Structure 1
Amino acid sequence: MSVDQATVRRVAHLARISVREDELGHLQNELNAILEFVEQLADLDVSGVEPLTSVVPVELPMREDVVTDGHCPEKVLANAPDAEGGFFTVPKVVE
């Protein structure tokens, strides 16, 4: 896959990046190099490789999955613009 200057302009526009005309050629080369590298990755045989979540084996502590109210409703409701009776008060959105 090859990127032309029109595509570079479009990507810059979508990313809300201001790109001068004299920068288009350099960015075109950079994007083409990135895409070429990704294409090389697609050719790799990774059938025997296990997925990683970390390069270092780390076991995270497990805790029981229990729903609580946080035991601090006053602190939670202090962030609300409006609260009533221990609940958030929100504007009606359905008529």
Structure 2
Amino acid sequence: MSTSDAQHSNLDAQTISQIANLARLSPNDAESAEFAQSLNKILDMMETLKAFDTTGIEPLKSPFDMPQPLRADVVTENNHREDYQAIAPATQDGLYLVPRVIE
């Protein structure tokens, strides 16, 4: 077991608060304790999953047995570009013209 694997089981409210500070979050003490408990459960579950031998098992491309049906690729809406650009201050060749931002 590596050092990082061993460290997951001791996530506490203080560690969560430190991580939250780095992420510019500010959970209160109760939330930090709750997050620590939830994260420890998730990390324990990941450790349990590591115990399974998956040698020779091909990864799934999808959790579904059959491919998902795709809708027909047909136009269902009219092109309203002319209507939308009629109220624009400036257009050219179907594009909106805007002031230069970067010189």
TM-score by length of 1: 0.56
What's the C-alpha RMSD, in Å, of the aligned pairs?
A: 3.6
Describe how 1:12-91 pairs up with structure 2 within 5 A: 12-13=20-21, 14=23, 16=25, 18-19=27-28, 21-46=29-54, 47-61=56-70, 72=79, 74=81, 78=84, 83-85=90-92, 86-91=94-99
User: How far did 1:17 drift?
Assistant: 5.1
Distance 1:59 1:48, change over 3 A: same
Deviations 1:63-87 (A, max 9, x none): 78xxxxx972516x72896550221
Alpha-carbon distance between aligned partners in 2 of 1:55 and 1:91, rounded to the nearest angstrom: 49
The alignment-based identity, stated in percent, is 19
Alpha-carbon distance between aligned partners in 2 of 1:43 and 1:81, rounded to the nearest angstrom: 62
Alpha-carbon distance between aligned partners in 2 of 1:35 and 1:50, rounded to the nearest angstrom: 22
User: How far did 1:30 drift?
Assistant: 2.1
**Unmatched segments (≥5 aa) in structure 2:** 1-7
Distance 1:83 1:71, change over 3 A: farther
TM-score by length of 2: 0.53
Alpha-carbon distance between aligned partners in 2 of 1:43 and 1:10, rounded to the nearest angstrom: 30
Higher helix share: 2
